[in-house]
Chains A and B, each alone.
Chain A
């Protein structure tokens, strides 16, 4: 079955350490996205990529980095520069855009990162 896989489900790290969250999709989707979800804050966009080897900053990119070397993979690194990294991180993918029509997102099951 096609889908989008995030790993691990739970992640604990010490303050000051970088950590990389995995996101893999086999849906053949061009576009991939990273969101951060905090209680009462909804979904905030960190980075997105609409094509391989290209990505754009979202609303809260500071302290994060990404790469898009393969269509299937869009890993997110939470660096020590991120002031408040403890959150629920969601990866999503979509077919992108056709004309002005935006295809719906398929979300992964998320990674809960706790920094202590």
Chain B
């Protein structure tokens, strides 16, 4: 079936360093969502991107949707210990069902 690949699987950073996670799809996506799951918690919806080339910001988080709508990224500037968790992307295939496909997530570990 359609897959959304997410890399890296894990990322260790020192507090204050930047972090980026990437999502790639082999097929065009109509939109992509991002979620954050804290350790021991449940995923929480962060944002949805719909337009080609779209860029959205939430404080230190920057979300991008590629021009071809096949990839997306989440960039965190100057990480803090509160950023620890697993970040998931979920892509909705164009012309497909209304069920998004989740990536496997990137676990961010921030060292103080």
Contact = CB atoms under 8 A, between A and B. Distances in A.
Given A101-B50, A105-B45, A42 B31 contact: no
A25 interface: no
B53 interface: no
A50 B99 CA distance: 10
Interface string B15-35: 000000000000000110101
Interface stretch (B56-64, B77-85, B101-109): B101-109
Contacts of B52: none
B43 to A, nearest CB: 5
B65 interface: no
Interface stretch (A16-24, A63-71, A75-83, A106-114): A106-114
A102 B43 contact: no
A40 interface: yes
Contact of A109 (B33, B41, B48): B41
A40 B102 CA distance: 12
Interface string A83-100: 000000010100011001
A104 B45 contact: yes
A92 B1 CA distance: 22
Contacts of A33: 99
Contacts of A61: none
A33 to B, nearest CB: 8
A108 B102 CA distance: 17
Interface residues of A, number: 26
Given A108-B42, A110-B42, A102 B104 contact: no
B42 A107 contact: yes
A40 B104 CA distance: 7
A104 B48 contact: yes
Contacts of A53: none
A90 B98 contact: no
A102 B9 contact: no
Contacts of A92: 43
Contact of A102 (B1, B44, B88, B92): B92
